[in-house]
Amino acid sequence: MAEVVLKDVSKVYEGKNIAVKNVNLTVKDKEFLVLVGPSGCGKTTTLRMVAGLEEISSGEIYVDGKLINELSPKSRDIAMVFQNYALYPHMTVYDNMAFGLKLRKYSKEEINKRVTNAAKILDLESCLKRKPKALSGGQRQRVAVGRAIVRHPKVFLFDEPLSNLDAKLRVQMRTELSKLHNRLEATILYVTHDQTEAMTMGDRIVVMKDGSVNQIDTPLNIYNFPVNLFVAGFIGSPPMNFINGKIIETENLKFVNDDKSFSVDLDSNRYTGIKNHIGKPVVLGIRPENIYNNPDDNLILKKHRIKLEVAEPMGNETILYFRFGNSQFIARVHAIEKPRPGEEVDIYFNLNKLHFFSLDDGKAIR
């Protein structure tokens, strides 16, 4: 069992800089929970408070029901893997992994058993005698993880562990860490600013902004039901299209953009909340992947002929940029042969995949 609970946790740095505001969250036993958000939103500070590296200004942190606020980092039974790996350059891989255990006065046999086992899990057996400078980025990253594993901690904390790796290695290590999580059945709190990492690795995701938690849910629920404009725009790549406009009532309910160059009829049984926003400013959201050039007949679609501003062929798909009046759209469509700016193409909006947000407070309208 290893459950971490944060209750109303805040951090105020000197000079009244509020880095973390009343954070409430639970990392369930064996869960991989990802904290994600833009730079400066308080992710690292939150993680460091759990590790005991940063004092908690107010609130409580519990591990398995035990209050740990006053415990020193080394008494917390929590291991942290840092962004820069923090390996000792003059020590071999073996000694780097053994160091923490030596400090805690484990026997030579026990240390050997744990380091050998971790090296096996992480495929580092052939590197144990090397120093960090003789390792690749991915191997160094694995040593840093190994140093955490050997301690058999209750909880693992990861602070952007993949950000120093090149794009290809990052994808590979993402899968490695997910496999490791399953194998160790570990409780993991993982920090990243990369929404793809969050979506692919997390059992659940915590989206943070300006020190506060905006939404906690599974990756798919966050993708399908973002609670506000920030979460909707942060999760998903390319990001969701946002079109400012209002809801008007004719024979149907309708969304019309600000300069009236774009409109869609709305099914008020599907989008029940919009009835309360008639005449008010709202933002319509639609993800680029819900605009097609090659529609499926079973979908409820609205067809438009548009003029391409830019088209980016990606091989398996094409990213299209176009606009209606002042409203800019991005669509992610089936690959188009040699698309040219200025060319006219038919595109289709999936009317079952619209999102609406109040312009006043940015909250989703449901």
Residues near ligand ATP (CB under 6 A) are 13, 17, 19, 37, 39-45, 193
Q: By C-beta, is 43 or 154 nearer to ligand ATP?
A: 43
Q: Provide, rounded to whole angstroms, the least separation between the CB of residue 159 and ligand ATP.
A: 8
How many other CB atoms sit within 10 Å of the CB of residue 186? 21
CB of 42 to ligand ATP, least distance (A): 4
Read off the tokens for 43.
């992710």
| Helices (H), ranges, the chain | 43-51, 93-103, 108-121, 137-149, 167-184, 195-201, 219-224, 229-234
CB-nearer residue toward ligand ATP: 20 or 101: 20
Q: Which is nearer to ligand ATP, 45 or 290 (CB)?
A: 45
Nearest distance from residue 161's CB to ligand ATP, in Å? Answer: 13
Nearer to ligand ATP, 37 or 288 (CB): 37
Among residues 235 and 301, whose Cβ is nearest to ligand ATP?
A: 235
Nearest partner of 268 among 347, 354, 329, judged by Cα: 354
**Residue 322 main-chain phi, psi, to 5 deg:** -155, 170
Q: Which residues partner with 61 through β-bridges?
A: 6
Give me 126's structure tokens: 């052939």
- The DSSP secondary-structure symbol of 233 reads H
Round to whole Å and give the CA distance between 57 and 55: 6
| Min separation Cβ 156 and ligand ATP, Å | 17
Closest CA to 227 of 239, 242, 213, 237: 213
Report the alpha-carbon distance of residue 89 to residue 87 in Å, rounded. 6
Least distance to ligand ATP from the beta carbon of 72, Å?
19
